[in-house]
Structure 1
Amino acid sequence: MFSFQPSCWSEHGELKAVMLCAPSKLDVPDLKTAENVLWSAPVSHVQAMENFMELKGTLEQAGVQVIDYSKELQADAQQLSEQLLNRYFVRDLACAFGNELLPGEAGSSIRRPEYRHAHDLLEKWFPHHFTAPKETGDVLEFGDVMVLNKDAVLINIGQRTTRAGVERVKDRIFKAGFSEIGIIDLPRSSDTLHLDMNCNVANEDVVIAKSFMRYFPVQILSASTARFEMTAQFFKRHGFELYWLEKYNTIPDINFLNINPETLLVSNKATKQHFKSHPILQKKNIVSIEVTELEKGGGGIRCMTLPLERKSV
Structure 2
Amino acid sequence: MKEELDLNKGSHFRFWDSLSEDKKAENIKKIQSKIGVHSEIGKLRKVFLHSPGQEVESMTPKSASELLYNDIIYYKNIVAGHAQLKSVLSLVSEVFEVSTCLEEILDLQQARNELLDQVLYYQGCPELKFELSEMPSDELAKTLITGVSLKRNSLESWLSSKTFSLVPLPNMYFMRDTSMVVGTRVISSRMASSVRFTESLIMRAIYEYHPDLTGHGLLLDACYKNNDPKFTIEGGDIIVINEDLLLVGISERTTTKAVDALVDSILSARTQEGKTEPFNILCVILPQERSTIHLDMIFTVANKEQAVVYSPYVLGRERARVVRIRVKSDGDKKFKDVEDLILGLRSVGVRMDPIPCGGDNPLHQQREQWNSGANLFSFAPGKVISYMHEHTLQACESAGFKIVSAKDAIKHPALLSSESPLVVTVEGSELSRGGGGPRCMTCPVLRDPV
TM-score by length of 1: 0.90
Task: Tell me the residue number matched to 1:129.
Answer: 216
Which of 76, 79, 84 does residue 54 from structure 1 map onto?
84
Q: Displacement, 1:244?
A: 5.6
Which aligned pairs between 1:59-208 and structure 2 lie closer than 5 A? 59-62=89-92, 64-73=93-102, 74=106, 75=137, 76-82=140-146, 83-125=168-210, 126-131=213-218, 133-136=223-226, 137=228, 138-174=231-267, 175-176=269-270, 179-208=279-308
SS at match of 1:90: coil
Do the aligned residues in 2 keep the contact of 1:122 with 1:130 (CA within 8 Å)? Answer: no
Runs of 4+ off more than 6 Å? none
Q: Displacement, 1:265?
A: 1.0
Identity of aligned residues (%): 25
Tell me, yes or no, if structure 1 residue 239 matches structure 2 residue 350: yes
Q: Displacement, 1:279?
A: 4.5
Which of 436, 439, 446 does residue 302 from structure 1 map onto?
439
Q: Take 1:100 and 1:257, find their aligned partners in 2: how far apart are those partners?
A: 21
Task: Quickly say closer, same or farther: Cα 1:30–1:94, change in 2 above 3 A.
Answer: closer
Q: Displacement, 1:32?
A: 5.0
Task: Tell me the residue number matched to 1:210.
Answer: 310
Do the aligned residues in 1 keep the contact of 2:38 with 2:241 (CA within 8 Å)? Answer: yes
Q: Displacement, 1:295?
A: 1.6
List gaps (5 residues or longer) in structure 1.
none
Q: Take 2:60 and 2:190, find their aligned partners in 1: how far apart are those partners?
A: 30
Larger radius of gyration: 2
TM-score by length of 2: 0.64
Task: Tell me the residue number matched to 2:324.
Answer: 220
1:226-268 Cα offsets, whole Å, 9 max, x none, are 2221222212233223416354211442111111113111113
Give the paired residue count.
311
Do the aligned residues in 2 keep the contact of 1:28 with 1:34 (CA within 8 Å)? Answer: no
Which of 388, 396, 406 does residue 268 from structure 1 map onto?
388
Q: Take 1:128 and 1:39, find their aligned partners in 2: how far apart are those partners?
A: 34
Task: Quickly say closer, same or farther: Cα 1:274–1:30, change in 2 above 3 A.
Answer: farther
Q: Take 1:295 and 1:122, find their aligned partners in 2: how far apart are those partners?
A: 27
Q: Displacement, 1:140?
A: 0.1
1:283-302 Cα offsets, whole Å, 9 max, x none, are 52121112332221111110
List gaps (5 residues or longer) in structure 2.
1-7, 9-31, 107-136, 147-167, 404-419
Letter in 2 for 1:216: A
Q: Which moved more, 1:152-161 or 1:221-230?
A: 221-230
Task: Quickly say closer, same or farther: Cα 1:85–1:168, change in 2 above 3 A.
Answer: same
1:64-119 Cα offsets, whole Å, 9 max, x none, are 01001122324445313122110111111222222122211101111001100111
SS at match of 1:92: coil
